[in-house]
Amino acid sequence: MPRPTTRLVSTNGITLHVTECGEGPPVVFCHGFPHTGYIWHRQLPAVAAAGFRAVAPDMRGYGGSDRPEAVADYTNAKAVGDLVGLLDEMGEEQAVFVGLDFGAALTWELALRAPERVRAVIVCNNPYIGRGRRRPSEVFARMAEQHFLHIHYFQEPGPADKELDADPRRFLSSIYFALSGGFHYLDIWAHPSAGNGYLDVLPVAPPLPWAWLTTAELDVLAGHFARTGFTGGLNWYRAMDLNWELMEPLADATVNAPAFFIYGEKDCDMEGFSGMDPIAAMRNRVPDLREVTEIPGAGHLVQLEATEQVNALIVRHLRSLGG
């Protein structure tokens, strides 16, 4: 298997820490919260071995990349600029983009804002359902009146940052387990907002190693956040209203790039939040949706919970594009 290397890339006024593996047509992996580019470390060698250049940046605010202070610097529009600049630096006109969580939302929006740079998208767990009718923070506040909602709790700078920074390892193990196929994440909605932080409502994770995550892997991720804190990642949540405003001109746009969707059967993003059939909504917004695959028993971190199956799907999707 090819071995990954790392480097720093100047793009769009910031510096990104980038992990690369292999040579060939580029495939860019976009992570979400609370991850770094390392969350794709099982995918990069497999994709490189199939004849592609696999690239996983730490997104702005994370890991070895720059962490601007202003919330306005964490919009998808800003991050799209990062990725377009990354392609320019690599000397590439197009890439296939693979996204999960916030990285999925970014991948969809990249295909809307810079379609000429997107060969195709492969998205894990976060379907494209278009722009909501109401300001996100208003929706979150209404929901938080009924039960604890992490997205609402994260909006105010300070409390969540302090809580999560105090024990990154405990938080990561709790949230990764809670989002996995081994737990039903929406059970935390049984807790009220008042008097609770995130760690108060998350389950206690079983001891590592798990069937799908090793102690060494958690050590790496916890080390990243012990060094940087979580504020950069939390700012992506705090920019959600700005994203909503900036997306108004694209409210009726469709993602026209070839698209592939992979999701865990037990992922929380496929239930509870949208109030609609997410697959049907995505088909209406993504006319060239070529394949939808459910991974039985898996949750949110599907690329770790079902590594071999997801790697095989990604490679098959890439090869299906030809050229």
Residues with catalytic annotation? 101, 300
The answer to whether the bond into 209 is cis (omega within 30° of 0) is yes
Nearest alpha carbon to residue 53 among 89, 101, 99, 4: 4
Cβ contact 171:34 at 8 Å: yes
DSSP-based three-state secondary structure for 15: strand
Task: Enumerate helices (H) and strands (E) in the chain, giving the number of each.
Answer: 14, 8
Nearest-angstrom CA–CA distance, 79 and 221: 21
The answer to whether the bond into 34 is cis (omega within 30° of 0) is yes
Nearest-angstrom CA–CA distance, 255 and 253: 7
Q: Which residues pair with 99 in a beta bridge?
A: 30, 123
